[in-house]
Amino acid sequence: MAAARAGRLERAIAFALRNFEIVFAAGIGLVVGFLDIFGDKLIEADFASGATLVVLGALAVGSLAERARRPLAMQEAMEGTRRAIEDLTMVRSLSGNEVREALREARQGTNLWYFKGGTGTYLRAVTLPQCVRAAKENRSQLNVKIEILNPADDRACNAYAQFRRMFSGPGPQGGGVWTADRTSKESYATILAACWYRRQLTTLDIGVHLSSTVPTLRFDLSDSTLIITQDDPSRVNLQVRRGQPLYDYYLTELHQSREQATTLDLRGATLLSPDPTVEEVRALFDALGLSLPRSFGESDVGEIIQKALHAEDPYGR
């Protein structure tokens, strides 16, 4: 208790020294004023002048108290303004060609790419080849995590196809009408692309995770930014820069989502030639424990190869 009183006394003395001029004025005003009013004419002045001094002294005290409160109030106001500005700049809306440009910027100098979405068309058409090319040129490590629909889950593929048919706008789609068969082939193509690029770059650490939950959004996360897009690029999409809380929230969310999905063990993937054959692709999926449907003929497998290694940029139209 004594230590607390001593601390308060030290703070009071320090404050008085920092604000000496106001403390002095307040003290003189109050002392002279009270002596003039109650001091039995110790000071030759009338009552009004004494009262004026008391008031002036009180005003000085009030100014002193206001000065004490002002730094804290200013600090709180500045903190509130900072939070408001952060809230406004945390998320940037993207539309039209801004999405393509934001994705291009996100690829610059990144050593990681996390994707979660339906089938990963843009991922295999643009993101994977360009990120692998950059890693080769820079001789750098590249960490890629992919979460897409399980192509062997008929229920999920059919539900995703229905969603795309119902909510897709007039934006670029390519490949015709969305069906369960198309959804399955698109997912198989992304898996094939992951295995093929894994053989092209020894420093590529790539993982594929298969989900049975139909996504309504796509997430692309790099070292510098998170981009959240919809199936129709004409709609408003979102960008979150690294360093913002929302970036970290989704970094954790994507990790947890992958943990709940089925992880493919790509270490068992068979060798693929630069121009994979139908037999090589069938053998690959057999080795992964994800055999292609028996109904898939050579033309179907050829379509998967085309989608995997020669996909068109959906934003390039």
**Which SS3 state, helix, strand or coil, does residue 103 take?**
helix
Extract the residue ranges of the chain whose pLDDT is less than 50.
Answer: 21, 47-48, 51, 55, 81-82, 84-86, 170-173
pLDDT value at residue 97: 85
User: Kind of pairing, strands 262-263 and 204-211?
Assistant: antiparallel
Take residue 311 and report the two structure tokens written for it.
């996909």
Take residue 54 and report the two structure tokens written for it.
């008391």
In the chain, domain spans: 2-89, 92-309
- Please check whether residue 304 is in contact with residue 185, taking contact to mean a CB–CB distance below 8 angstroms: yes
Take residue 170 and report the two structure tokens written for it.
């007039």
Please enumerate in sequence order all residues whose Cβ is within 8 A of that of 93, keeping only pairs 6 or more positions apart, or say none. 236, 237, 238, 239
pLDDT value at residue 309: 96
Amino acid at 105: E
CA distance 200 to 193: 11
Q: Give me the helices (H) in the chain, please.
A: 2-18, 20-38, 47-89, 97-107, 121-122, 128-138, 154-167, 180-200, 245-259, 278-287, 298-309
Closest alpha carbon to 143 in 55, 203, 205 = 205
Report the C-alpha dihedral over residues 308, 201, 292, 275, rounded to 10 degrees.
60
178: number of Cβ within 10 Å? 22
CA distance 166 to 120: 19
- Please check whether residue 25 is in contact with residue 60, taking contact to mean a CB–CB distance below 8 angstroms: yes
pTM (predicted TM-score): 0.72
- Encode pLDDT of 62-86 as tens digits: 555 555 555 565 566 555 544 544 4
Top-level CATH class of 92-309?
alpha beta
Angle between helices 180-200 and 154-167 (to 10 degrees): 110
- Encode pLDDT of 180-201 as tens digits: 999 999 999 999 999 999 999 9
Location of structure tokens 């991922």: 123
Amino acid at 192: L
Take residue 198 and report the two structure tokens written for it.
């894994």
- Please check whether residue 193 is in contact with residue 308, taking contact to mean a CB–CB distance below 8 angstroms: yes
CA distance 266 to 206: 8
pLDDT value at residue 289: 95
